Structure 1
Amino acid sequence: MRNLFFLFFGLLSLAVSAQNNAGTIVYKQTVFMRREAQAMAPAGVDQNMTRNIPESMTTEFELNFTANESFYKELASRTDESAGEGGGMRFMMRRFNPPIYKDLANNRQVEENDLFGKQFLIDDVIPTRAWKIAGQQKKVLDYPCISATFTDSIMGRARVVTAWFAPTLPVAIGPQGYGGLPGMILEVEFDGGRSVVTAAEVKLQKPAEGAIKIPEKGKKVTRAEYQKIQAEKMKEMRESGMMQGRQGGGPGMIIIRN
C-alpha cells in the first residue's frame, strides 16, 4: 500500500507543468514564546517568571528553489531576547534557523550555524527522516496538502514534527531544511503547535539571479562533528552553572542566571 501511495503521487507530480519546479516561497514562523518557555524551563523554575515574555513572535523566511537546488534564509531580523523580572533570571529566546543550501542532484546540504559566537559551516549529505504519511488533508494557500509526521530527539528532548506537503509542487524540499516528501512542504508544526511555520506566499517563477547561493562562513565540519561539539559545549555550560535550557522546535530557550 505504501509503495502504491508513492507511485500515485509520483505520477501526479509528472503530470503537473514544469513551471511548478521553480519559484520563491515566503514562510512565516510563529513561535508561542510563553508556551515554549514554560515547556522548556528546567524542573523547579517558577512558571510565573514567564509572565513578562510576549505571547508569540513571528519571523519571515524565504525559500528560493529550482528542481535541483534551494536556498532558505531569514528575511527579517527581530529581537531575540525577552527579559522577565522575577527570581533574578533573564530569559533569552534564540532562533536556530540557519541559512540552508540544498543540492538535490548531489544529495548535499550546506548550512551556516552559530554556536555561542563561533561560526560553523555544516557540509554533509541531506538528512533523511522516517516520515509517516498520516493521510490527513487540508489546503495551504489553496494548494491541496497531505500530512506526514515523524518524532526525533534534540538535546535529549523528544519532539513531534508534522508537515503538510503539496504533491502538485513536485520538489522534495521545504522550510528549515525539511524535505524528502513527494511534494513541497508548505507547513510544519512542532509539538502540537508550540511553533508553526507556514507558507504565506508562493511565486512560481525562476528565482532572481544570485537568489540561490552556497553558504561560506565558518569552520567546515560534518553534521556528526557539529553535533558532538554542540553537545560538549552545552554540557560545559550547564556544569559551569551559566546556562540551563534545551533546544526545541523553532527557537530554543536559554535561562541565564545573573
Structure 2
Amino acid sequence: MTEAKVVSRESLPSWSELQHLSDDALLDLFRSSPHELLADLTINTTSVRMIGRDTVIKYPCAPYEVAAQAHIASTTSILTPAIRRTIPGRTGLNNFYVVMDFVHGTTLDSSWPRLAPWRKLMVVWTMRRYVRELRKVPFQHASKEPWPGPLGDEPIACIGPLFGEYDAGPFSTYAGLADCFAHKLDVAVRMKKAPPFVAPFDASMPLVFTHLDLVPHNVMLDDAGRVWVIDWGISGFYPQWFEYAAMAAGWEDMSRYGGFLARGIAGFYEPQRCFIDSICWALVTGAFM
C-alpha cells in the first residue's frame, strides 16, 4: 500500500463506531491495518495495530496477561489500557487477540531526555506509588495460599528476564521456586561460572504482584502528562525484590542516574540482583543441567 493510500490515524473511526462489529470484522481490520505500533517486529513476535483512533488490537496475548490487566484495573488506580474485547485465536489456547484502548502519548524512554527535572521527579514518584499499589494487590484466590507465577486458576510456568530463555516451573509453592533458584546456583558454582561464595536465594520476602518488566519502554506518558503502564505479559506473584532485579538494567540504560531511580521506585535490592547475575550462566547455557 502506498503512503498516499494509507488512512491517517486521526481519520480512523472511534471505538463507539466499531463496537457493534463482529469478532471476524474486527480481525479483518487488524490484518489490514497499516498502523503497526511496534518499532521492530524482527525482535518481537507480538503485533499491536491500530484499528481505530482510540483502539488497538494486540496479538498474541496469553489468558494470564488478559487476567492480569483486568485484575490491576479493578484493584488499583494504576493507569493501564482498558480491555474492550478478547477474541480467541485459532491455533492454541494462549494466542488471544485483545482489543484495548490506545494511549495517545509516548514511551518514557523516548520522552525522558525532553522532560524537565521536576517532571522527571513526578514520573518517578508516580511509579513509586504504582509499585506500592501492586504490592498490595490481593491474590486472585482469597482462600488459597499464593503460589509464584502468572495469574490463573492453577500454577502456570514462570517466564521473564529472571528465568532466562526458558520457562521455569510451574511452582505450586514458594518453596518450589526457591529450590529452583538454589539448584541454578549449585549448577553455576559446580561449573565454575559463579563465585564459590554467593548469598543464597532470598525467600524472606512475601510474594507480591509484580509487573516484572517495568522498564521505560513499558511506561507511557499520555498527552496530558499522566503515567501509564503497559504490557503485563510476564506479570504475576513473585518475591518482593523481583521487581527491582528485573527493571534496574533498563533504567540504567536510559539514564546515568537510572540505578538510583530504579531504587527509588522499587526499593534497594542490589544484593538480590547480584544473586541473579551470579547464576546467569545456569539460566541460559546451563538451563537443562
TM-score class, shorter: under 0.3
Compare the two structures and name the one with the higher helix fraction. 2
User: What TM-score, normalized to structure 1?
Assistant: 0.23
Higher relative contact order (CA 8 A, sep 6+): 1
User: What TM-score, normalized to structure 2?
Assistant: 0.21
Compare the two structures and name the one with the higher strand fraction. 1
